[in-house]
Amino acid sequence: MDYHRNVHSRQIFDGIAAQYDWAPGLLSFFQYQRWRSYVVSRFQTGPDATVLDLCTGTAGVAIQIARTHRCRVVGVDLNLKMLNRAQHNLAEHEMGSRVPLVLGQAENLSFADDCFDDACVTFLLRYVDDPEATMAEIVRVLKPGGRLVSLEFGVPPNPVAKALWQFYTRGVLPVTGAFVSRGWRNVGGFLGPSISGLYQSYGEDDLRQMWQRLGMLDVQIKRLSLGGAVVVWGTKSGSTEAKDR
């Protein structure tokens, strides 16, 4: 089944896969790697664990999780061009056996209930029609006691920082992206309004309440880069014994 925003997501990422390993760092003033490292640091995963990395893209986060925690990571993405680039990166880092890749939709994951020890998702909610139903699907495949970590763009709460953010995302980013490629020009024009739209619908309190409704405990939220990125993490309700089954 195809979803309306899935189609848009494929179109967006088809045009930027070739430059995805370096362009986000450049366009975020080299904050992107810092955000990813913080996401990876939220896990307490052991070497026997299997982690789901949803929206794996070119497998940057998956590789970092596998290296840091010496675990197995299953990377899932909607876009075939991104996965092809991910396969190249995994081969380059000799990580292909530890990070299998799956083409799939976040709204309809092809995994059994309670099968992943932990899960990670990056920049998803702006590309799905029903964010809460999609997050529920991710929680479904997470074992009780497992940790879920999410990274999304945010809007800085400070008025001065917000004004600078709006100037950059509405004015500078589309022009700068055009120098990278046509695809990144399209991303530059889309990114700012889409982030603002998500933030209006899902502020910090909304995100926390949504996660709690889905059975996530000890939900915590951390803003990074003056609020330009938002990391949310929590633990799925249930016993650790259930997680080990």
pLDDT value at position 187? Answer: 77
Q: What is the pLDDT of residues 134-178, one digit of tens each?
A: 999 999 999 999 999 999 999 999 999 999 999 998 888 888 887
Q: Where are the alpha helices (DSSP H) in the chain?
A: 4-14, 23-27, 32-41, 60-69, 80-92, 131-140, 159-167, 173-180, 182-201, 204-213, 240-243
**Which pLDDT value is given to residue 4?**
63
- Which residues 6+ apart lie within 8 Å of 154 measured at CB? 195, 199, 223, 227, 228, 229, 230
What residues pair up with 149 in beta bridges, in sequence order? 120, 233
> Picking from 9-18, 30-39, 134-143, 157-166, which range would have the lowest pLDDT averaged per residue?
9-18
Measured CA to CA, the distance from residue 102 to residue 17 in angstroms comes to 16
Mean pLDDT, the chain, whole residue set: 90
**What pLDDT, on a 0 to 100 scale, did the predictor assign at position 239?**
64
Q: What is the dihedral of CA 104, 107, 111, 117, to 10 degrees?
A: 110
In angstroms, the CA 220 to CA 142 distance is 18
Distance CA(48)–CA(28), nearest Å, equals 34
| Mean pLDDT score, 60-88 | 96
Alpha-carbon torsion (169, 150, 57, 79), positive or negative:
negative
Residue found by looking up tokens 């909304």 in the block = 206
The C-alpha atoms of residue 233 and residue 77 are separated, in whole angstroms, by: 20
Who's near 216: CB < 8 A, 6+ residues apart?
139, 148, 234, 235, 236, 237
Output the six-digit token pair for 10: 């494929």
Q: Roughly how many angstroms between the first and final C-alpha of the chain, as a whole number?
A: 32
Q: What is the pLDDT of residue 242?
A: 39
CA angle 50, 56, 58 (to 5 degrees): 125
Reported confidence tier of residue 14, pLDDT bands at 50, 70, 90? confident
Rank 18-22, 167-171, 187-191, 240-244 by mean pLDDT and report only the highest.
Answer: 167-171
Crossing angle between the packed helical segments 182-201 and 4-14, to the nearest 10 degrees: 140
Torsion of CA 131, 137, 140, 143, to 10 degrees: -70
Does the domain made of 4-153+204-243 have the CATH classification 3.40.50.150?
A: yes
| pLDDT tens sequence across 173-221 | 888 887 787 777 777 777 888 889 888 888 899 999 999 999 999 999 9
The lowest-confidence range among 17-21, 58-62, 131-135, 214-218 is 17-21
